[in-house]
Structure 1
Amino acid sequence: MPYIDGFIMAVPTANKQKFIDHANQGDSVFVEYGATRVLECWGDDVPKGEQTDFRRAVQAKDDETVVFSWIEWPDKETRDAGMQKAMKDPRLSPESNPMPFDGKRLIYGGFAPVVELGAKS
Structure 2
Amino acid sequence: MTHYIDGFLLPIAPEKIAEYQKMASLAGSVWKEHGALAYWECVGDDLNIADMVSFKQSAGCNDNETVVLAWIVYPSREARDKINAAVMEDPRLKDMCNNDSLFDFRRMAYGGFTELVRYQ
Is the TM-score greater than 0.5? yes
CA-to-aligned-CA distance 1:50-75 (integer Å, 9 cap, x gap): 67432122211121111100001122
Alpha-carbon distance in structure 1 between the residues aligned to 2:83 and 2:42: 22
The aligned residue for residue 103 of structure 1 is 105
If the length of structure 1 is used for normalisation, what is the TM-score? 0.85
Alpha-carbon distance in structure 1 between the residues aligned to 2:4 and 2:64: 33
If the length of structure 2 is used for normalisation, what is the TM-score? 0.86
Report % sequence identity.
36
Asked if the contact 1:26/1:97 (under 8 Å) is kept, the reply is no
Asked if the contact 1:33/1:82 (under 8 Å) is kept, the reply is yes
Alpha-carbon distance in structure 1 between the residues aligned to 2:95 and 2:35: 22
Q: What pairs up with 1:32-111 in 2 under 5 angstroms? A: 32-47=33-48, 52-94=53-95, 98-99=99-100, 100-111=102-113
Of residues 39-48 and 3-12 in structure 1, the stretch that sits farther from structure 2 once superposed is 39-48
Alpha-carbon distance in structure 1 between the residues aligned to 2:116 and 2:77: 14
Which stretches in structure 2 are left out of the alignment for 5+ residues?
none
Asked if the contact 1:10/1:67 (under 8 Å) is kept, the reply is yes
The number of residue pairs the alignment matches comes to 118
Letter in 2 for 1:31: K
Letter in 2 for 1:104: R
Deviation at 1:88, TM superposition (A): 1.9
Q: Does 1:117 align with 2:90?
A: no
- Supply the RMSD in Å over aligned alpha carbons: 2.0
Asked if the contact 1:48/1:55 (under 8 Å) is kept, the reply is no
Letter in 2 for 1:108: Y
Which stretches in structure 1 are left out of the alignment for 5+ residues?
none
